[in-house]
Amino acid sequence: MKGLRVAVAVLAAGLVSSAVPLRGQAGYQPAPENLAARRWFQDARFGMFVHWGIYSVLGDGEWVMNNRKIRAAEYEKLPAFFNPVDFDPAAWVALVKAAGMKYVTITSKHHDGFAMFDSKVSDWDIVDRTPYKKDVLKMLADECHRQGIKLFFYHSQLDWHHPDYYPRGRTGHDTGRPESGEWYRYLDYMDAQLEELLTGYGEIGGIWFDGWWDRPEADWRLAKTYALIHRLQPAALVGSNHHRRPNPGEDFQMFEKDLPGRNTAGFNDQSEIGDLPLETCETMNNAWGFNITDRSYKSTKDLVRYLVRAAGNDANFLLNVGPMPNGKIQPEFASRLKEMGDWLSRYGESIYGTRGGPVTPRPWGVTTQKGDTVYLHVLDWPDETLSLPKLPGKVTAARFVKDGSRAAFVEDEAGVRVKIPAAMRDDTDTVLALTYQSS
């Protein structure tokens, strides 16, 4: 009896929601078009992350409301200053293409709760509150569809503005909201906005959730939300940045600021690699949303190498830009993106359409694979001769992707040794293509 009461108390405390089967859409079977979309996603390998919101006006990142303890009533002054008259969706998508990216994931709503689209279930949105009055997501969606780029929406489950986001979690305590609210009414609101996004913007690549971690103990009703998305657009991929093994109903798994399985940034201590398509996201400096003083830009070389390491770990790379409040993407980002595109125009065959290669990531670099070609990405120098374990078949040819010239190799029972003359070494990435004959 006592045991039963304890069990009931545990249930009431909501602890049971951490049991995996109750999280997510139990029994989910992805539709055939969803499985095809997953393959498309893996083939794409490189996308643009866009953090854009009214916070860009303050030039201090997307967490400014929480970090500076801005109350909701004060934050409500911001939309009046957000007037991105220089926003040119055709220029954005042209930059995406010049960078060699295949998709865009943009914030439909970040933690500040502000909808960057024309929501009918709230007036806390760009059309109702800003002098710009236009639905930038619709403008971008139309342009993406015109230019053959897939569009995903980042949607924050955490909300620092909505009064029904209550009980509150780990963040958003200094907003001056009343200490009351109806949690399930908030979830209804979130579902209603998701329905708007999945019905009013054409074909959507997927929904990239974030903020679950603010209330890990809460009933997020994920089964209902995920089923809604899969019903409205069966090909749309659902992913959530919850830093855990994927839940049923999710279609891809993301890693924040780390390669799959790593935890250098501290967000992924509970991330376990599942068996879904993988994606890793990273910033160009240290900020997601526009930060006017953040000068810590990564070099193009480092960004290319991150893309390569992601591909070698069988993951996509979602590289972020935080556009400015005038609607432009700052030149420091644009120039790096174009240089990455230049690199990809030569080496794209070793990235697009590949999967993580047969040789797991090594101190010297990574491998990718497409059909019976294995690409060696030599990032850090071992020696003049690179030794590999045996590949899945007998190697018939080896060439340097840079100029197509032949590379000398020997193969025996121990594996393959490839000779890489100093003159062929590339500081960024020395790429070799090895073709084998399947046995």
| Nearer residue to ligand H79 within complex by CB, 247 or 369 | 247
Peptide bond into 260 cis (omega under 30): no
Q: Does 170 bind ligand H79 (CB under 6 A)?
A: yes
| Nearer residue to ligand H79 within complex by CB, 240 or 350 | 240
Q: What is the dihedral of CA 320, 326, 328, 333, to 10 degrees?
A: -50
Q: How far is the CB of 356 from ligand H79 (least distance, A)?
A: 23
Q: Are 287 and 322 in contact (CB under 8 A)?
A: yes
Q: How far is the CB of 211 from ligand H79 (least distance, A)?
A: 7
Q: How far is the CB of 106 from ligand H79 (least distance, A)?
A: 11
With tokens 């008259």, the residue in question is: 85
With tokens 């939300």, the residue in question is: 225
DSSP string, 154-177: EEES--SS-TT--S--SS--SS--
| Nearer residue to ligand H79 within complex by CB, 50 or 204 | 50
| Nearer residue to ligand H79 within complex by CB, 79 or 211 | 211
What is the widest separation between alpha-carbon atoms in the chain?
78
Per-residue tokens: 341? 């595109």
CA distances from 301 to 148, 152, 264, 408, 428 (A): 27, 27, 20, 27, 6
Q: How far is the CB of 280 from ligand H79 (least distance, A)?
A: 11
Q: Does 256 bind ligand H79 (CB under 6 A)?
A: yes
Among 41, 46, 75, 213, binds ligand H79 (CB under 6 A): 213
**Binding pattern for the stretch 21-60 against ligand H79, x by CB under 6 A and - elsewhere:** ------------------------------x---------
Peptide bond into 89 cis (omega under 30): no
Q: How far is the CB of 380 from ligand H79 (least distance, A)?
A: 28
Q: By CB under 6 A, what part of segment 279-298 binds ligand H79? A: 281, 288
> Residue 395 in 3-state DSSP?
strand
Q: How far is the CB of 281 from ligand H79 (least distance, A)?
A: 6
Q: How far is the CB of 271 from ligand H79 (least distance, A)?
A: 13
Q: Does 143 bind ligand H79 (CB under 6 A)?
A: no
Q: Are 233 and 203 in contact (CB under 8 A)?
A: yes
β partners of residue 418: 386, 409
| Nearer residue to ligand H79 within complex by CB, 66 or 428 | 66
Q: How far is the CB of 28 from ligand H79 (least distance, A)?
A: 24
With CB atoms as reference, the residue minimizing the distance to ligand H79 is: 170
- Residue 114 CB: number of other CB atoms within 10 A? 29
Q: Does 112 bind ligand H79 (CB under 6 A)?
A: no
| Nearer residue to ligand H79 within complex by CB, 196 or 279 | 279
| Nearer residue to ligand H79 within complex by CB, 28 or 267 | 267
| Cα distance between residue 83 and residue 85, in whole Å | 6
Q: How many residues bind ligand H79 (CB under 6 A)?
A: 11
| Nearer residue to ligand H79 within complex by CB, 256 or 429 | 256
Q: Does 159 bind ligand H79 (CB under 6 A)?
A: no
| Cα distance between residue 379 and residue 425, in whole Å | 10
| Nearer residue to ligand H79 within complex by CB, 256 or 411 | 256
Q: What are the start-end ranges of the H helices in 121-262?
A: 126-129, 136-147, 183-199, 222-232
Among 60, 135, 143, 210, binds ligand H79 (CB under 6 A): 210
Residue whose C-alpha is closest to residue 283's, from 326, 332, 328: 332
The amino acid present at 408, given as its one-letter code, is A
Q: Does 62 bind ligand H79 (CB under 6 A)?
A: yes
Q: Are 229 and 194 in contact (CB under 8 A)?
A: yes
Q: How far is the CB of 311 from ligand H79 (least distance, A)?
A: 20
Among 171, 300, 350, 430, binds ligand H79 (CB under 6 A): 171
Pairing of strands 206-210, 365-370: unpaired
Residues that bind ligand H79 (CB under 6 A): 51, 62-63, 170-171, 210, 213, 241, 256, 281, 288
